[in-house]
Every structure is written in structure tokens, then in C-alpha cells.
Amino acid sequence: MADQEKRVTLYGRVFITGNIKAMTGLHIGGAAGALEVGGVDAPVIRDPLTNRPYVPGSSLRGKMRSLTEKKTGRVQNFRIGKGVHVHICEAPDDYNACPVCPIFGVPGDKPASNPTRLVVRDVFMSDASADKLEAAQTDLPYSEVKWEATIDRVTSAAVPRQIERVPRGAEFEDFEMVYSIYHEDDIARLITVVEAMQLLEDDYLGGLGSRGGGKIAFQNLAISARSSKDYGEKVDWPQKVASVAEVLEHREALLQWVRDTIATS
């Protein structure tokens, strides 16, 4: 009977959009593919239609989840593949109080399974950045090659390797994060999403972050919402913000606007 009575109601969605700028060289790895003479050891992921590097939504979302787990001290109790652990709530009571799982989701076979609130789209390189990189005649199409070396601590022998990176200054435009409201508590949880974006700005995206790469900035932000009562109409948040920090400065005004725009009762 309990399973038959379970119901999910979508009250509305909040949309966070903008651009992502690489402040330092950005490496998000792709499949190495066949070995080629002179090929790089660690290539970046590329859009097969344009051959331009892009930012997968899974990379953004995964790093935001990881940093939120660290910030809130969640136990890494669930293994994915070999050696990768994340936090997953097993019990429904734990799920309801968790700052991570309602937003980023749990596997569908878990007792605490519920709809995931946050969807993050892939983000593609802007035409303007692609034109600049083409004119710059970079080492590879739209990317640079960075040489690194691992040093043997005993013999001092060096093992060099080539890392492909998107050069600093490149922009990826029109990112979109879609946050669904299924419960009144989800409105307050929206701030956790924005804080995760700030955590990511202070950390790094992709690989080689401890070596200087992966610093990004979210820019030209805009927030809008759709209520399920009139889902065809999207309403823009009137507050003008350009950065994550500015959104957090107006967090209370943002939450009140979401409450007024998306009624949960």
C-alpha cells in the first residue's frame, strides 16, 4: 500500500545559466584512442561534430557533488567502479536531512531513491574563443600541449609526458543548470547548488589542479524559473547579478522570489 501511495509532484524548476571561462589551462580528459606517433599522452575530450573541446555536464556536476560532500563531511560509503567512493544515503530518514543526496541523487535501487533535483548540461566552446584559438595557431586544434615530467626520487630520472589543455581565456557559453522543486525544502536547498558553484571556482575542474590547471569562473549569470501551474511561461529573477558571489550576496532575496514564483502548496 505504501508503494501505491507514493507520489511525486513537480512544483516548478529554476534555471541557472551563463558562461564558463578558463582562468588557467583546462584539462578534462577524453579517450586516448589509438596510439599515434607524436600524439599526446593525455588528450582532452572533444565534440565529435566540431572537434572543439567542451565541458561535460557530468564533470561539472560530479565535482560540485564531491566538493559539497567534503564541505558537509559526508561519509564516503558507496563505491563506484575501482577506487571511487561517494556518499549515498541508504535510509529515507538520512536522505531527508542530507545536504547532498536530494540535490545530486541516489541510485534507483536504494530505499531512499527519489527524483534527482539537479541537471547539468554539457557546455560548448564559444565561436569567438574558437576563432581566437584558430588565429593563434595553437599546438593542436583549439588546445595547447603542456610538457610535464615525473622525477624518480632516488635516481632523479625524468619520465616526460604531454598533457593537452584548453588555453586560459577560452570561454564556454550558455551553460545551463536545471533545478527541480519537488518539496518546499527544495527551495532552501537551491543555495547549496550556488555554494557548490563557488566551491568549484575556489578549487579546480578536470585534472592537474594541484599543478596550476583547472581554475574556472562562472560569468554573466542569469536565473529564471517556471512554475508548473503555467509551465510555458519562464520568469526572470529581476536582480541583476554577474557572478556567483553576487548571487550569494542576495540569497535571501533569491529564495523569497522562488517562493513567490513557484508555489509549493
Question: 71-106: per-residue pLDDT in tens?
Answer: 999 988 888 877 788 898 988 888 989 999 999 998
Mapping DSSP onto H, E and C, the string for 4-39 reads: HHCCCCCCEEEEEEEEEEECCCECCECCCCCCCCCC
In this structure, of 71-85, 120-134, 186-200, 205-219, the range with the lowest mean pLDDT score is 71-85
The helix, strand and coil proportions of the chain, stated in percent and rounded to the nearest 5, come to 30, 30, 40
State the pLDDT at residue 40.
72
The answer to whether the beta carbons of residues 87 and 77 sit under 8 Å apart is: yes
Residue 1's pLDDT is what? 37
pTM strictly above 0.85: yes
pLDDT of 104 reads 95
Across the range 240-257, mean pLDDT stands at 96
d(CA 23, CA 217) in angstroms, rounded, equals 7
* The three grid cell numbers given for residue 192, joined into one nine-digit string: 547549496
| Exposure letters 152-177 (e unless 16+ CB within 10 A, then b) | eeeeeeeeeebbbbbbeebbbbebeb
Domain boundaries, the chain: 2-30+49-136+168-261
Q: What is the mean pLDDT of the chain?
A: 89
Answer positive or negative: Cα dihedral of 61, 54, 216, 20. negative
**pLDDT tens track for 120-166:** 999 999 999 999 999 999 999 999 998 776 676 777 666 677 889 99
16, exposed or middle or buried, with CB in 10 Å at 0-12, 13-18, 19+? buried
